[in-house]
Chain A
Amino acid sequence: MLKKNSDTISPEFLLFKAGNEKVFDKIFRINYNKVTGFCNQFIFDLDKSKSITQEAFLKLWLNRDKVQTENGIYSFLYTAAKTECLNYLRHKKIEKKYLQKSIEEKEYLLTHDIIKSFNFDEIHFTELEKAIQKAIEELPDRCREVFLKSRSEGKKNREIAEELGIAVKSVETNMTRALKILRKRLAEFLTVLIVLILGF
Protein backbone atom coordinates (compact mmCIF):
# COMPACT_ATOMS: atom_id res chain seq x y z
CA MET A 1 0.00 0.00 0.00
CA LEU A 2 2.86 2.35 0.74
CA LYS A 3 5.41 3.00 -1.97
CA LYS A 4 9.08 3.71 -1.63
CA ASN A 5 10.25 6.94 -3.28
CA SER A 6 13.27 9.21 -3.31
CA ASP A 7 12.07 10.94 -0.14
CA THR A 8 11.89 7.72 1.88
CA ILE A 9 14.34 7.70 4.75
CA SER A 10 16.31 4.49 4.30
CA PRO A 11 18.11 2.35 6.89
CA GLU A 12 21.36 3.30 5.12
CA PHE A 13 20.68 6.97 5.70
CA LEU A 14 20.15 6.35 9.42
CA LEU A 15 23.40 4.38 9.48
CA PHE A 16 25.10 7.33 7.78
CA LYS A 17 23.84 9.63 10.52
CA ALA A 18 24.98 7.19 13.17
CA GLY A 19 28.50 7.37 11.72
CA ASN A 20 28.71 4.05 9.91
CA GLU A 21 31.97 4.10 7.92
CA LYS A 22 30.89 1.64 5.22
CA VAL A 23 27.91 3.73 4.28
CA PHE A 24 30.00 6.90 4.34
CA ASP A 25 32.65 5.32 2.13
CA LYS A 26 29.98 4.43 -0.41
CA ILE A 27 28.75 8.02 -0.51
CA PHE A 28 32.36 9.18 -0.87
CA ARG A 29 33.10 6.86 -3.79
CA ILE A 30 29.93 7.80 -5.68
CA ASN A 31 30.35 11.56 -5.30
CA TYR A 32 34.08 12.17 -5.12
CA ASN A 33 34.77 12.66 -8.83
CA LYS A 34 31.57 14.59 -9.38
CA VAL A 35 32.33 17.15 -6.67
CA THR A 36 35.97 17.38 -7.71
CA GLY A 37 34.88 17.89 -11.32
CA PHE A 38 32.46 20.58 -10.27
CA CYS A 39 35.14 22.49 -8.35
CA ASN A 40 37.65 22.15 -11.14
CA GLN A 41 35.20 23.80 -13.54
CA PHE A 42 35.61 27.01 -11.56
CA ILE A 43 39.13 27.02 -10.23
CA PHE A 44 40.97 25.09 -12.97
CA ASP A 45 43.48 23.55 -10.57
CA LEU A 46 43.02 19.80 -10.13
CA ASP A 47 45.08 19.47 -6.94
CA LYS A 48 43.27 22.35 -5.29
CA SER A 49 39.90 20.92 -6.44
CA LYS A 50 40.79 17.60 -4.88
CA SER A 51 41.68 19.16 -1.58
CA ILE A 52 38.49 21.25 -1.58
CA THR A 53 36.50 18.05 -2.12
CA GLN A 54 38.32 16.39 0.77
CA GLU A 55 37.46 19.37 2.93
CA ALA A 56 33.80 19.16 1.87
CA PHE A 57 33.61 15.47 2.82
CA LEU A 58 35.28 16.15 6.16
CA LYS A 59 32.67 18.83 6.87
CA LEU A 60 29.94 16.37 5.90
CA TRP A 61 31.35 13.71 8.23
CA LEU A 62 31.56 16.13 11.14
CA ASN A 63 28.09 17.58 10.55
CA ARG A 64 26.22 14.42 9.56
CA ASP A 65 23.80 14.82 12.46
CA LYS A 66 22.57 18.09 10.92
CA VAL A 67 21.66 16.47 7.60
CA GLN A 68 17.95 15.66 7.58
CA THR A 69 17.42 13.69 4.36
CA GLU A 70 19.35 11.71 1.80
CA ASN A 71 19.13 14.56 -0.71
CA GLY A 72 20.44 16.81 2.02
CA ILE A 73 23.77 14.97 1.75
CA TYR A 74 24.33 16.21 -1.81
CA SER A 75 23.15 19.69 -1.10
CA PHE A 76 25.52 19.83 1.89
CA LEU A 77 28.47 18.59 -0.18
CA TYR A 78 27.93 21.02 -3.04
CA THR A 79 27.27 23.94 -0.71
CA ALA A 80 30.52 23.24 1.12
CA ALA A 81 32.38 22.95 -2.21
CA LYS A 82 30.81 26.17 -3.50
CA THR A 83 31.83 28.10 -0.38
CA GLU A 84 35.39 26.79 -0.54
CA CYS A 85 35.68 27.58 -4.27
CA LEU A 86 34.48 31.14 -3.69
CA ASN A 87 37.00 31.59 -0.87
CA TYR A 88 39.76 30.31 -3.10
CA LEU A 89 38.75 32.60 -5.97
CA ARG A 90 38.68 35.63 -3.69
CA HIS A 91 42.10 34.75 -2.40
CA LYS A 92 43.38 34.37 -5.97
CA LYS A 93 41.94 37.73 -6.89
CA ILE A 94 43.85 39.49 -4.13
CA GLU A 95 47.03 37.83 -5.33
CA LYS A 96 46.46 39.03 -8.87
CA LYS A 97 45.32 42.57 -8.16
CA TYR A 98 47.56 44.07 -10.82
CA LEU A 99 45.65 42.25 -13.56
CA GLN A 100 42.69 44.62 -13.49
CA LYS A 101 40.47 44.75 -16.55
CA SER A 102 42.56 42.19 -18.33
CA ILE A 103 41.02 39.00 -19.66
CA GLU A 104 41.88 37.27 -16.41
CA GLU A 105 39.95 39.85 -14.44
CA LYS A 106 36.95 39.31 -16.73
CA GLU A 107 37.26 35.57 -16.32
CA TYR A 108 37.39 35.94 -12.59
CA LEU A 109 34.25 38.08 -12.49
CA LEU A 110 32.33 35.73 -14.78
CA THR A 111 33.34 32.60 -12.84
CA HIS A 112 32.55 34.29 -9.57
CA ASP A 113 29.07 35.29 -10.79
CA ILE A 114 28.29 31.82 -12.04
CA ILE A 115 29.35 29.91 -8.97
CA LYS A 116 27.55 32.40 -6.75
CA SER A 117 24.34 31.94 -8.69
CA PHE A 118 24.14 28.22 -7.87
CA ASN A 119 21.31 27.43 -5.51
CA PHE A 120 22.10 24.26 -3.59
CA ASP A 121 19.05 24.53 -1.41
CA GLU A 122 17.98 20.91 -0.95
CA ILE A 123 14.69 21.04 -2.85
CA HIS A 124 15.97 23.12 -5.76
CA PHE A 125 19.12 21.13 -6.17
CA THR A 126 17.31 17.79 -6.12
CA GLU A 127 14.89 19.05 -8.77
CA LEU A 128 17.67 20.51 -10.90
CA GLU A 129 19.66 17.28 -10.82
CA LYS A 130 16.57 15.27 -11.72
CA ALA A 131 15.72 17.70 -14.54
CA ILE A 132 19.25 17.47 -15.97
CA GLN A 133 19.18 13.67 -15.91
CA LYS A 134 15.78 13.62 -17.59
CA ALA A 135 16.78 16.18 -20.22
CA ILE A 136 19.89 14.15 -21.09
CA GLU A 137 17.85 10.95 -21.39
CA GLU A 138 15.46 12.70 -23.75
CA LEU A 139 18.14 13.97 -26.13
CA PRO A 140 18.09 12.50 -29.64
CA ASP A 141 20.18 9.27 -29.65
CA ARG A 142 23.28 10.55 -31.44
CA CYS A 143 23.26 13.79 -29.48
CA ARG A 144 23.05 11.93 -26.18
CA GLU A 145 25.82 9.54 -27.18
CA VAL A 146 28.18 12.36 -28.10
CA PHE A 147 27.26 14.42 -25.04
CA LEU A 148 27.79 11.54 -22.60
CA LYS A 149 31.03 10.39 -24.19
CA SER A 150 32.36 13.90 -23.96
CA ARG A 151 31.06 14.82 -20.50
CA SER A 152 30.91 11.59 -18.48
CA GLU A 153 33.72 9.70 -20.13
CA GLY A 154 35.85 12.79 -20.76
CA LYS A 155 36.66 11.83 -24.34
CA LYS A 156 38.15 14.17 -26.95
CA ASN A 157 36.14 15.01 -30.05
CA ARG A 158 38.58 13.06 -32.22
CA GLU A 159 38.21 9.93 -30.06
CA ILE A 160 34.43 10.18 -30.15
CA ALA A 161 34.49 10.60 -33.94
CA GLU A 162 36.62 7.46 -34.31
CA GLU A 163 34.47 5.42 -31.94
CA LEU A 164 31.21 6.35 -33.60
CA GLY A 165 32.63 6.32 -37.12
CA ILE A 166 31.56 9.88 -37.86
CA ALA A 167 33.39 13.07 -38.82
CA VAL A 168 34.86 15.36 -36.14
CA LYS A 169 32.68 18.10 -37.56
CA SER A 170 29.60 15.95 -36.90
CA VAL A 171 30.71 15.43 -33.29
CA GLU A 172 30.92 19.20 -32.89
CA THR A 173 27.51 19.72 -34.49
CA ASN A 174 25.92 17.13 -32.20
CA MET A 175 27.54 18.65 -29.13
CA THR A 176 26.23 22.09 -30.08
CA ARG A 177 22.80 20.64 -30.68
CA ALA A 178 22.84 18.77 -27.36
CA LEU A 179 23.75 21.91 -25.42
CA LYS A 180 21.15 24.00 -27.20
CA ILE A 181 18.42 21.45 -26.47
CA LEU A 182 19.49 21.02 -22.84
CA ARG A 183 19.53 24.74 -22.25
CA LYS A 184 16.09 25.12 -23.80
CA ARG A 185 14.68 22.28 -21.68
CA LEU A 186 16.30 23.54 -18.50
CA ALA A 187 16.21 27.29 -19.16
CA GLU A 188 12.99 27.80 -17.27
CA PHE A 189 14.41 25.98 -14.30
CA LEU A 190 17.81 27.68 -14.39
CA THR A 191 16.25 31.11 -14.94
CA VAL A 192 13.97 30.61 -11.97
CA LEU A 193 17.05 30.07 -9.87
CA ILE A 194 18.60 33.32 -11.06
CA VAL A 195 15.46 35.27 -10.28
CA LEU A 196 15.38 33.75 -6.81
CA ILE A 197 18.96 34.70 -6.15
CA LEU A 198 18.46 38.26 -7.34
CA GLY A 199 15.49 38.46 -5.02
CA PHE A 200 17.63 38.03 -1.93
Chain B
Amino acid sequence: MNFDIIIKYLNGTSSSEEKQQFFAWIEENPENKNEFLELKKIWALTEKTDEDESTALALFHNSAKKHNNKSLLFKALKQAAIYILLIGIGGILSWFVLSSDKVSENEIYASNYTVTAPQGQMTNVELPDGTLVMLNSRSTISYDNDFSHGKREVTLNGEAFFDVQKDQEHPFIVKSPLLDIKVYGTSFNIEAYPEDNSISATLVDGSISVLNKDGLELTKLVPGEKARYTATDNKLIVSEVNTDMFVSWKKGLITFRNEKLEDIAKKIERWYNVEIVIRNKQLGKELYFGTILKNKPIDQILEVFKLTTSLKYEIVPRANEPTLIYWD
Protein backbone atom coordinates (compact mmCIF):
# COMPACT_ATOMS: atom_id res chain seq x y z
CA MET B 1 0.00 0.00 0.00
CA ASN B 2 1.23 3.41 -0.90
CA PHE B 3 1.45 5.29 2.40
CA ASP B 4 0.78 8.58 0.63
CA ILE B 5 -2.80 7.47 0.04
CA ILE B 6 -3.27 6.96 3.79
CA ILE B 7 -1.76 10.36 4.56
CA LYS B 8 -3.94 11.98 1.91
CA TYR B 9 -6.98 10.36 3.46
CA LEU B 10 -5.91 11.62 6.89
CA ASN B 11 -5.43 15.07 5.46
CA GLY B 12 -8.81 14.92 3.77
CA THR B 13 -7.27 15.63 0.38
CA SER B 14 -7.84 12.33 -1.43
CA SER B 15 -9.58 12.23 -4.80
CA SER B 16 -12.55 9.88 -5.18
CA GLU B 17 -10.33 7.37 -6.93
CA GLU B 18 -7.82 7.51 -4.06
CA LYS B 19 -10.68 7.02 -1.62
CA GLN B 20 -11.72 3.86 -3.46
CA GLN B 21 -8.14 2.62 -3.22
CA PHE B 22 -8.02 3.50 0.45
CA PHE B 23 -11.16 1.56 1.32
CA ALA B 24 -10.06 -1.39 -0.79
CA TRP B 25 -6.97 -1.49 1.43
CA ILE B 26 -9.03 -1.13 4.65
CA GLU B 27 -11.30 -4.01 3.61
CA GLU B 28 -8.40 -6.27 2.70
CA ASN B 29 -7.97 -7.46 6.29
CA PRO B 30 -8.65 -6.39 9.89
CA GLU B 31 -4.98 -5.58 10.51
CA ASN B 32 -5.13 -2.80 7.93
CA LYS B 33 -8.16 -1.32 9.60
CA ASN B 34 -6.40 -1.54 12.95
CA GLU B 35 -3.32 0.14 11.55
CA PHE B 36 -5.39 3.01 10.24
CA LEU B 37 -7.30 3.23 13.53
CA GLU B 38 -4.04 3.75 15.38
CA LEU B 39 -2.74 6.29 12.87
CA LYS B 40 -5.99 8.22 12.96
CA LYS B 41 -5.91 8.36 16.75
CA ILE B 42 -2.43 9.86 16.72
CA TRP B 43 -3.57 12.22 13.99
CA ALA B 44 -6.71 13.40 15.81
CA LEU B 45 -4.94 13.96 19.11
CA THR B 46 -2.22 16.06 17.49
CA GLU B 47 -4.69 18.16 15.51
CA LYS B 48 -5.23 21.83 16.33
CA THR B 49 -7.49 24.34 14.60
CA ASP B 50 -6.42 27.94 14.16
CA GLU B 51 -9.50 29.76 15.46
CA ASP B 52 -9.38 32.90 17.58
CA GLU B 53 -9.65 31.89 21.24
CA SER B 54 -10.79 35.30 22.44
CA THR B 55 -13.82 35.33 20.14
CA ALA B 56 -14.68 31.80 21.21
CA LEU B 57 -14.23 32.72 24.88
CA ALA B 58 -16.55 35.73 24.56
CA LEU B 59 -19.16 33.47 22.98
CA PHE B 60 -18.71 31.02 25.81
CA HIS B 61 -19.22 33.62 28.54
CA ASN B 62 -22.33 34.75 26.78
CA SER B 63 -23.93 31.33 26.69
CA ALA B 64 -22.74 30.49 30.21
CA LYS B 65 -24.47 33.64 31.45
CA LYS B 66 -27.64 32.79 29.57
CA HIS B 67 -27.57 29.33 31.01
CA ASN B 68 -27.10 30.76 34.49
CA ASN B 69 -30.03 33.12 34.09
CA LYS B 70 -32.18 30.27 32.85
CA SER B 71 -31.32 28.04 35.78
CA LEU B 72 -31.77 30.95 38.21
CA LEU B 73 -35.26 31.54 36.83
CA PHE B 74 -35.98 27.83 37.13
CA LYS B 75 -34.71 27.87 40.71
CA ALA B 76 -36.82 30.89 41.54
CA LEU B 77 -39.91 29.24 40.08
CA LYS B 78 -39.19 26.08 41.99
CA GLN B 79 -38.73 28.05 45.19
CA ALA B 80 -41.93 29.98 44.54
CA ALA B 81 -43.75 26.69 44.19
CA ILE B 82 -42.32 25.53 47.49
CA TYR B 83 -43.37 28.75 49.21
CA ILE B 84 -46.93 28.53 47.91
CA LEU B 85 -47.06 25.01 49.29
CA LEU B 86 -45.62 26.10 52.58
CA ILE B 87 -48.02 29.00 52.96
CA GLY B 88 -50.70 26.37 52.73
CA ILE B 89 -49.06 24.47 55.56
CA GLY B 90 -48.19 27.43 57.73
CA GLY B 91 -46.44 30.76 57.68
CA ILE B 92 -43.83 29.94 60.29
CA LEU B 93 -42.48 27.02 58.36
CA SER B 94 -42.03 29.03 55.18
CA TRP B 95 -40.20 31.76 57.07
CA PHE B 96 -37.84 29.12 58.45
CA VAL B 97 -37.04 27.76 54.99
CA LEU B 98 -36.46 31.27 53.68
CA SER B 99 -33.97 32.20 56.38
CA SER B 100 -32.09 28.90 56.24
CA ASP B 101 -31.75 29.33 52.46
CA LYS B 102 -29.99 32.62 53.04
CA VAL B 103 -27.43 30.97 55.27
CA SER B 104 -26.48 28.43 52.63
CA GLU B 105 -26.06 31.17 50.03
CA ASN B 106 -23.62 32.99 52.30
CA GLU B 107 -21.63 29.86 52.74
CA ILE B 108 -20.98 29.68 49.01
CA TYR B 109 -19.35 33.09 49.02
CA ALA B 110 -17.02 32.39 51.96
CA SER B 111 -14.55 30.52 49.76
CA ASN B 112 -12.94 27.63 51.45
CA TYR B 113 -10.83 25.09 49.61
CA THR B 114 -10.93 21.48 50.64
CA VAL B 115 -9.06 18.43 49.41
CA THR B 116 -9.80 14.90 50.54
CA ALA B 117 -7.65 11.86 49.80
CA PRO B 118 -9.93 8.96 48.87
CA GLN B 119 -9.87 5.71 50.84
CA GLY B 120 -6.73 3.74 50.01
CA GLN B 121 -5.08 6.54 48.06
CA MET B 122 -2.61 9.28 48.77
CA THR B 123 -3.08 12.76 47.38
CA ASN B 124 -0.48 15.46 46.84
CA VAL B 125 -1.55 19.04 47.38
CA GLU B 126 0.27 22.27 46.71
CA LEU B 127 -0.81 25.23 48.82
CA PRO B 128 -0.79 28.82 47.49
CA ASP B 129 2.50 29.59 49.32
CA GLY B 130 4.27 26.64 47.70
CA THR B 131 4.01 24.37 50.72
CA LEU B 132 3.63 20.74 49.68
CA VAL B 133 1.35 18.38 51.52
CA MET B 134 0.93 14.67 51.09
CA LEU B 135 -2.40 13.50 52.43
CA ASN B 136 -2.76 9.95 53.57
CA SER B 137 -5.82 7.83 52.81
CA ARG B 138 -9.16 9.31 53.98
CA SER B 139 -7.61 12.57 55.19
CA THR B 140 -8.88 16.07 54.54
CA ILE B 141 -7.09 19.38 54.43
CA SER B 142 -8.77 22.76 53.99
CA TYR B 143 -7.80 26.41 53.87
CA ASP B 144 -9.52 29.77 53.44
CA ASN B 145 -9.27 32.44 50.82
CA ASP B 146 -7.15 34.39 53.36
CA PHE B 147 -4.32 31.90 52.92
CA SER B 148 -3.01 33.72 49.85
CA HIS B 149 -2.94 36.94 51.87
CA GLY B 150 -0.41 35.71 54.41
CA LYS B 151 -2.68 33.96 56.87
CA ARG B 152 -1.10 30.54 56.58
CA GLU B 153 -3.63 28.36 58.37
CA VAL B 154 -4.86 24.94 57.37
CA THR B 155 -7.22 22.51 59.05
CA LEU B 156 -6.34 18.85 58.99
CA ASN B 157 -8.45 15.81 59.62
CA GLY B 158 -6.46 12.62 59.29
CA GLU B 159 -2.79 12.16 58.48
CA ALA B 160 -0.52 14.32 56.37
CA PHE B 161 3.12 14.96 55.71
CA PHE B 162 4.01 18.65 55.39
CA ASP B 163 6.91 20.28 53.62
CA VAL B 164 6.38 23.89 54.68
CA GLN B 165 7.75 26.79 52.64
CA LYS B 166 10.05 28.96 54.79
CA ASP B 167 8.55 32.34 55.76
CA GLN B 168 9.66 33.82 59.10
CA GLU B 169 7.06 36.59 58.98
CA HIS B 170 4.07 34.36 58.48
CA PRO B 171 3.95 31.31 60.73
CA PHE B 172 2.26 28.27 59.30
CA ILE B 173 -0.41 26.77 61.54
CA VAL B 174 -1.98 23.34 61.25
CA LYS B 175 -5.26 23.17 63.11
CA SER B 176 -6.60 19.84 64.20
CA PRO B 177 -9.55 19.02 66.46
CA LEU B 178 -7.40 18.56 69.59
CA LEU B 179 -4.23 20.63 69.16
CA ASP B 180 -2.62 23.10 66.79
CA ILE B 181 0.90 22.99 65.37
CA LYS B 182 2.87 26.15 64.63
CA VAL B 183 5.64 26.00 62.07
CA TYR B 184 8.19 28.24 60.42
CA GLY B 185 9.49 26.08 57.57
CA THR B 186 10.03 22.43 58.07
CA SER B 187 9.05 18.83 57.32
CA PHE B 188 6.81 16.95 59.65
CA ASN B 189 4.04 14.39 59.88
CA ILE B 190 0.73 14.80 61.67
CA GLU B 191 -1.72 12.05 62.46
CA ALA B 192 -5.09 13.29 63.65
CA TYR B 193 -7.92 10.97 62.64
CA PRO B 194 -11.09 12.13 64.41
CA GLU B 195 -12.08 8.67 65.64
CA ASP B 196 -8.69 8.16 67.31
CA ASN B 197 -9.20 10.79 69.99
CA SER B 198 -5.48 11.49 69.86
CA ILE B 199 -3.00 13.43 67.76
CA SER B 200 0.63 12.70 66.91
CA ALA B 201 3.11 15.11 65.40
CA THR B 202 6.49 13.81 64.28
CA LEU B 203 9.19 16.28 63.30
CA VAL B 204 11.68 15.35 60.59
CA ASP B 205 13.45 18.64 59.99
CA GLY B 206 13.31 22.22 61.36
CA SER B 207 11.25 23.12 64.41
CA ILE B 208 7.60 23.15 65.37
CA SER B 209 5.56 24.24 68.38
CA VAL B 210 2.62 22.30 69.76
CA LEU B 211 -0.20 24.63 70.85
CA ASN B 212 -3.38 23.94 72.75
CA LYS B 213 -6.66 25.18 71.25
CA ASP B 214 -6.23 28.53 73.05
CA GLY B 215 -2.98 29.15 71.19
CA LEU B 216 -0.75 28.51 74.21
CA GLU B 217 2.57 26.79 73.50
CA LEU B 218 2.73 23.41 75.23
CA THR B 219 6.08 22.26 73.89
CA LYS B 220 8.62 22.69 71.11
CA LEU B 221 9.92 19.72 69.19
CA VAL B 222 13.42 19.09 67.81
CA PRO B 223 13.99 16.83 64.78
CA GLY B 224 13.46 13.16 65.60
CA GLU B 225 10.88 13.89 68.29
CA LYS B 226 7.28 12.89 68.36
CA ALA B 227 4.56 14.50 70.44
CA ARG B 228 1.48 12.44 71.17
CA TYR B 229 -1.56 13.84 72.90
CA THR B 230 -4.51 11.75 74.08
CA ALA B 231 -7.76 13.51 74.87
CA THR B 232 -9.13 10.84 77.19
CA ASP B 233 -6.42 11.28 79.84
CA ASN B 234 -5.35 14.76 78.69
CA LYS B 235 -1.68 13.77 78.44
CA LEU B 236 1.04 15.02 76.13
CA ILE B 237 4.01 12.71 75.75
CA VAL B 238 7.18 13.63 73.86
CA SER B 239 9.39 10.76 72.76
CA GLU B 240 12.37 10.19 70.51
CA VAL B 241 11.51 8.20 67.41
CA ASN B 242 12.96 6.87 64.20
CA THR B 243 11.41 9.30 61.76
CA ASP B 244 11.78 6.91 58.83
CA MET B 245 8.99 4.82 60.23
CA PHE B 246 6.60 7.69 60.74
CA VAL B 247 6.87 9.12 57.30
CA SER B 248 7.18 5.79 55.51
CA TRP B 249 3.60 5.79 54.26
CA LYS B 250 4.51 8.50 51.84
CA LYS B 251 6.81 6.08 50.04
CA GLY B 252 3.82 3.99 49.00
CA LEU B 253 2.63 2.60 52.29
CA ILE B 254 -1.09 2.33 52.61
CA THR B 255 -2.73 2.02 55.98
CA PHE B 256 -6.08 0.29 56.17
CA ARG B 257 -8.08 1.16 59.23
CA ASN B 258 -10.62 -1.56 59.91
CA GLU B 259 -11.60 -2.03 56.29
CA LYS B 260 -13.48 -5.04 55.01
CA LEU B 261 -11.34 -7.48 53.03
CA GLU B 262 -13.88 -7.33 50.17
CA ASP B 263 -13.28 -3.56 49.90
CA ILE B 264 -9.52 -4.05 50.06
CA ALA B 265 -9.87 -6.66 47.29
CA LYS B 266 -11.43 -4.03 45.02
CA LYS B 267 -8.46 -1.72 45.53
CA ILE B 268 -5.94 -4.46 44.90
CA GLU B 269 -7.80 -5.33 41.69
CA ARG B 270 -7.28 -1.75 40.55
CA TRP B 271 -3.66 -1.38 41.61
CA TYR B 272 -2.48 -4.67 40.15
CA ASN B 273 -4.96 -5.23 37.32
CA VAL B 274 -6.02 -8.63 38.66
CA GLU B 275 -9.39 -10.20 39.26
CA ILE B 276 -10.13 -11.34 42.80
CA VAL B 277 -12.90 -13.80 43.56
CA ILE B 278 -13.76 -14.22 47.22
CA ARG B 279 -15.12 -17.75 47.55
CA ASN B 280 -15.70 -17.57 51.30
CA LYS B 281 -18.39 -14.95 51.91
CA GLN B 282 -17.52 -14.54 55.59
CA LEU B 283 -13.93 -13.74 54.76
CA GLY B 284 -15.07 -10.72 52.74
CA LYS B 285 -16.61 -9.18 55.85
CA GLU B 286 -13.48 -9.69 57.96
CA LEU B 287 -11.91 -6.38 59.01
CA TYR B 288 -8.27 -5.61 58.45
CA PHE B 289 -6.18 -3.07 60.31
CA GLY B 290 -2.64 -2.65 59.08
CA THR B 291 -0.23 -1.22 56.58
CA ILE B 292 0.90 -2.63 53.26
CA LEU B 293 3.51 -1.45 50.80
CA LYS B 294 1.69 -0.72 47.57
CA ASN B 295 4.67 -1.02 45.23
CA LYS B 296 5.59 -4.58 46.21
CA PRO B 297 4.75 -7.57 43.99
CA ILE B 298 1.25 -8.91 44.52
CA ASP B 299 2.33 -12.25 45.98
CA GLN B 300 4.19 -10.45 48.77
CA ILE B 301 1.11 -8.39 49.63
CA LEU B 302 -0.99 -11.54 49.70
CA GLU B 303 1.54 -13.20 52.00
CA VAL B 304 1.08 -10.32 54.47
CA PHE B 305 -2.68 -10.80 54.42
CA LYS B 306 -2.22 -14.55 54.84
CA LEU B 307 -0.13 -13.99 57.95
CA THR B 308 -2.42 -11.41 59.55
CA THR B 309 -5.89 -12.63 58.60
CA SER B 310 -7.52 -16.01 58.02
CA LEU B 311 -7.11 -15.53 54.26
CA LYS B 312 -5.79 -18.24 51.96
CA TYR B 313 -5.20 -17.58 48.30
CA GLU B 314 -4.68 -19.23 44.94
CA ILE B 315 -3.22 -17.46 41.90
CA VAL B 316 -4.38 -18.51 38.43
CA PRO B 317 -2.45 -16.74 35.63
CA ARG B 318 -4.46 -16.35 32.41
CA ALA B 319 -3.40 -15.43 28.89
CA ASN B 320 -4.95 -12.22 27.47
CA GLU B 321 -6.92 -11.67 30.64
CA PRO B 322 -6.09 -10.29 34.09
CA THR B 323 -4.66 -12.85 36.49
CA LEU B 324 -7.35 -14.52 38.56
CA ILE B 325 -6.90 -14.79 42.33
CA TYR B 326 -9.14 -16.81 44.61
CA TRP B 327 -9.51 -15.86 48.27
CA ASP B 328 -10.75 -18.58 50.58
Contact = CB atoms under 8 A, between A and B. Distances in A.
Interface stretch (A27-35, A90-98, A158-166): A27-35
B96 interface: no
Nearest to A129: B45
Contacts of B177: none
A5 B67 CA distance: 36
A99 interface: no
Contacts of B49: 33, 36-37, 40, 46, 49-50
A199 to B, nearest CB: 8
A1 B23 contact: no
Contacts of A151: 43, 46-48
B327 interface: no
Contacts of A14: 113, 115
B169 interface: no
A11 B250 CA distance: 21
Contact of A54 (B50, B63, B115): B63
A149 B166 CA distance: 45
Contact of B187 (A1, A40, A186): A1
B91 interface: no
Given A1-B205, A4-B132, A172-B7, A187 B38 contact: yes
A155 B48 CA distance: 12
> Interface of chain B, helix or strand or loop or mixed?
helix
B42 A44 contact: no
B202 to A, nearest CB: 13
A44 B14 CA distance: 14
A113 interface: yes
Interface string A151-182: 11010000000000000000010011001101
Nearest to B3: A176
A24 B41 CA distance: 27
Contact of A186 (B3, B23, B42, B51): B42
A8 B256 CA distance: 22
A1 B163 contact: yes
B105 to A, nearest CB: 14
B223 to A, nearest CB: 12
Contact of A37 (B4, B23, B41, B48): B48
Contacts of A61: 64
Interface string B102-130: 00000000010101000000011111100
A176 B51 contact: no
A73 B143 CA distance: 22
Given A2-B132, A33-B48, A194-B37, A9 B16 contact: no
Interface of B: 3-4, 7, 12, 16, 19-20, 23, 26, 33-51, 53, 56-57, 59-60, 63-64, 67, 111, 113, 115, 123-128, 132-134, 148, 161, 163, 187, 204-205, 250, 320
24 contacts: A1-B205, A2-B187, A8-B124, A11-B148, A18-B111, A32-B56, A38-B44, A40-B49, A41-B43, A50-B51, A53-B56, A54-B56, A58-B60, A58-B67, A106-B23, A113-B33, A114-B37, A118-B41, A129-B45, A136-B46, A152-B48, A154-B48, A186-B38, A191-B34
Give the 4 A-B CB pairs with smallest separation, nearest first. Answer: A37-B47, A2-B132, A41-B44, A8-B124
